[in-house]
A and B are shown apart, each in its own frame.
Chain A
Amino acid sequence: MAPDLRTRLGNVELPNPILTASGCASSGRELAQFIDVSRIGAIVTKSVMLAPRAGRPTPRMAETSSGMLNSIGLQGPGIDAFLQRDLPWLLSRGARAVVSIAGHTVEEYAELAARLSDAAGVTALEVNISCPNVEHRGQVFACDATDAGAVIAAVRARTRYDIPVFAKLSPDVTDIVAIARSCVSAGADGLSMINTLLGMAIDTETMRPVLAGLTGGLSGPAIRPVAVRCIWQVREALPDVPIIGMGGVMTGRDALELMLAGASMVSIGTAIFHDPSACARILRELDDELARRGIERLSEVVGLAHEMKTSGRAKGNVSRPA
């Protein structure tokens, strides 16, 4: 018996919960050489901005233990090229397109939302308010509940009613639940978590920082426990808000872990660099993990770890009301 993997992304039903993570699959075209992009839940695009952007200088990447640092700086061709070339291609392949957007100002986000609402075929928007690579450090919206809420409110106001808006949260905050609450109050239909953690590496031979941009976003299996914790905390506080979980998922087992914490969809990021067919493989593995446990529907496991009535073991680690 194959488990029922269907899940809901706002008004859209996805055939399964495995998505690409923004910035790790470009706009899907390269991965189509290795997997059928219509078979996974959705392609979450690299963050699209209004204008073309050259990104940061090289070196942009450093491998770390069970992870990597990146400092790409949101290189991309801008919204015009995306609408002209990338979105039509995704739709022509039968893929569902979740478009990640990023901007420097609230108005830029709003304009992107409007442009994408006018285009046919956008399944959802994921609002990248937490990318630590954007040059103007003061404008990391995700680190301030008011700023984060302002972006989401503006985006929600300019987005077509039937396109769900997900806010992508940064783990580099003192209280992720406060940011999550602010985004949901501002109209977010769901939350994506987590973005990368800000990190840094120094080359001990040259005695200088490895990355040209000095700091970079840490991703990969090294950050998975942070993702599990963030998803757990937000699910605990806002149990009805859909969550796209991401952060170091390499296998179907890892995807299941994030779902048990409360994610109803899981994005695959750094694993794609390791294995370009990772999404298809993880989908198969997740199917096996569920089948092996006799679970018939994916929805049964979402947030299951929160239920106290299962064995009392391993429950007391995160403080929660009795």
Chain B
Amino acid sequence: MTAGEPESESGPLQVRGTVLNVRKVDAYHAITIVAPGIAARFKPGQFVALAVGGPDTSMVLRRTFSIYDVRPDHGGTVEFVFAAGGPGTRWLAERRARDVLDLTGPLGRPFPVPRDPVSCLLVGGGYGSAPLFALADRLRERRCSVDFLLGAASGDRVFGALTARRTGRSATITTVDGSLGVRGIVTDMLGQVIHEARTDVIYACGPMPMLRQVTALARRYDIPVQVAVEESMACGVGVCMTCVLPVVGSDGITRMVRSCVDGPVFRGEQVRWDDIGTIPFDAFGAPGWESRARRGPRQPAGHSGASQAASRAAGQTGQTAAARLPGPVRRPGHGS
């Protein structure tokens, strides 16, 4: 699917999809649903929103899940991974083949992919790694190399370790209890992997503290990072305004943006990680904002002018900075 297609061909659909199967995958569940239109429109990083609990449910809010995979069988199927931790996801785990679910999708902005063949590092925490495998396929279509760095509390919570080892140029696994791979957390290994893989671009999905740390390290190495955030959502389609987080725009102004429609994928350095859960005093529309607005917008901190400009341009067109920069991409100094 190309960007040139009309909106109606690429926007989200609401469908009643038939469950093909629900299976246990280590500590998680994976569910496959027949949803041809959603499968056809899907791009890696996008998600679906499901109604749970059946007719007359007491659970009024949709549950959102990153799409793990789409396949052409049965006209088009959508698969996603979830942890059955609450009443809604437990209900979902009890679904059986031929049950019918109401789902909307594909929702949100997908991961931008580089135009040129670059070295990509995909970092996942827990089942946050699920959307990274479809992304990996797409990156390889663009002749990018793909390295994986996956981590979780224990081995049974690292989703897709086997696939990562089979398909990645390299795959590094970390677990807090040391039951699989290296003992520790993903960010312990990030510097080493970046060095060995000569990483040009990082993609990350997982818990917010992990994304925050990955972004901080990527900035230290001056590598562009795209993160898919996990904010709790009620509708998934942009009307409820519950999933907002402070993000610095290309104009330097911080806005409380919706992660469902303006994300879930953001450039890591755009997100004001330290201010999540607050309304930053200089955010657009914060109390007293108008009086301060005359003093001019906040400059995004950190990056050098050149890379900032490149990042901005890249952000506008959906290309990563690395993909746009001519010649050999900058090589980070290590251990800084």
Binding site for B on A (CB under 8 A): 23-26, 30-31, 33-34, 46, 51-61, 63, 65-68, 70, 72, 75-78, 135, 212, 220-221, 270-277
Contact = CB atoms under 8 A, between A and B. Distances in A.
B237 A75 contact: no
A270 B285 contact: no
B313 interface: no
Contacts of B102: 275
Contacts of A212: 277
Nearest to A77: B285
Contacts of B14: 34, 275-277
A33 B237 contact: yes
B60 A221 contact: yes
A59 B232 CA distance: 8
Interface in B53-70: 58-62
B202 to A, nearest CB: 25
B11 A61 contact: no
Size class of the contact patch on chain B: 35 or more
Given A63-B61, A221-B60, A277-B14, A55 B279 contact: yes
Main secondary structure of the interface of A (DSSP, over half): loop
Given A66-B58, A75-B285, A55 B237 contact: no
Contact of B285 (A60, A67, A68, A78): A78
B235 interface: yes
B158 interface: no
Contacts of A51: 285, 289-290
A72 B244 CA distance: 10
B144 interface: no
Interface in B268-284: 276-279, 283-284
Interface centre among A25, A59, A221, A274 (most CB of B within 10 A): A274
Contacts of A272: 235, 239
Interface of B: 11-12, 14, 51, 58-62, 102, 104, 231-232, 234-235, 237-245, 255-256, 261, 276-279, 283-287, 289-290
A75 B241 contact: yes
A53 B234 contact: no
Contact of A220 (B60, B244, B289): B60
Contacts of B104: 34, 276
Contacts of A75: 241, 244, 256, 285
A30 B261 contact: yes
A108 to B, nearest CB: 13
A135 B279 CA distance: 13
A285 to B, nearest CB: 13
Nearest to A67: B60
Nearest to A20: B239
Contacts of A277: 14
A273 B235 contact: yes
A57 B285 CA distance: 12
B239 A58 contact: no
Interface centre among A23, A61, A212 (most CB of B within 10 A): A61
* 9 shortest interchain CB distances as A-B pairs: A52-B285, A54-B285, A61-B242, A30-B238, A273-B235, A53-B285, A66-B58, A60-B242, A54-B286
B61 A33 contact: no
A179 to B, nearest CB: 27
Nearest to A50: B290
A58 B238 contact: no
Nearest to B242: A61
B232 to A, nearest CB: 7
23 contacts: A26-B238, A34-B12, A34-B237, A51-B285, A52-B284, A54-B256, A54-B287, A55-B256, A58-B232, A58-B243, A61-B242, A63-B59, A70-B240, A75-B241, A272-B235, A273-B60, A273-B61, A273-B62, A273-B239, A274-B60, A275-B14, A276-B104, A276-B237
Nearest to A55: B256
A68 B234 contact: yes
Contacts of A221: 58, 60
B244 A52 contact: no
